[in-house]
Amino acid sequence: MKFIADRMLGKLAKLLRIRGFNVLYSNRIDFDELIRVAGEEKRIILTRNTLIKKIEGNYGYLFITDDDPKRQLKEIITNLDLDINTKGVFTRCIVCNYDLIKIKREDLVGRVPDYVFETHKDFSFCGKCDRIFWKGTHYENVLLKEI
């Protein structure tokens, strides 16, 4: 399932990406462009904009009612009956939405802090923005959090 989130839902987009969902997001995209992209790419629009209810088009949408990103995530899980499992966690770049690629530890000498290099063995990187990711304490926190 692919999504596109409006400019009011940046934190929600990040939470969904953390869980492995493909979510386009930009705080610069206007509403007409959002609808166009959703139709072309068969994405579900996630929005807090009430105008969505008045516009006809070739897209699906979910109107998000809650203000809190964690409760918004629960709202999506409930309304769309999403399967939230640990298999997809941290498989997408939380910044640019690209799939992460496994990278050998030895290829990261000098690219991550020394402590991280010494204490972690599994790393991934984003082929688009070149960010490097590893399973720090945030990984366990995401797995243990009740949604």
pLDDT digits (tens, 9 = 90+) for 90-108: 899 999 999 999 999 999 9
pTM for the model stands at 0.87
Dist. CA 128–CA 100, nearest whole Å? 9
Is the distance from CB of 17 to CB of 92 less than 8 angstroms?
A: yes
What pLDDT band is residue 22 in, cutting at 50, 70 and 90?
Answer: very high
Domains of the chain: 2-84 (3.40.50), 100-144 (no CATH)
Q: Residue 143 is inside which H or E element, if any? A: helix 137-144
HSE-up (13 A, CA, CB side) for residue 147: 21
Strand stretches in the chain, DSSP E: 2-5, 22-25, 44-47, 60-63, 100-103, 123-126, 132-134
Rounded to 10 degrees, what is the CA torsion of 131, 134, 137, 141? 80
Q: Which of 69-78, 86-95, 104-113 has the lowest mean pLDDT?
A: 86-95
Kindly report each contact of residues 67-71 with a partner whose C-beta sits within 8 Å and lies 24 or more positions away, as own/partner. Answer: 69/9, 69/11, 69/12, 69/14, 69/15, 70/15, 70/147
pLDDT mean across residues, the chain: 89
Tokens found for residue 47? 């929005």
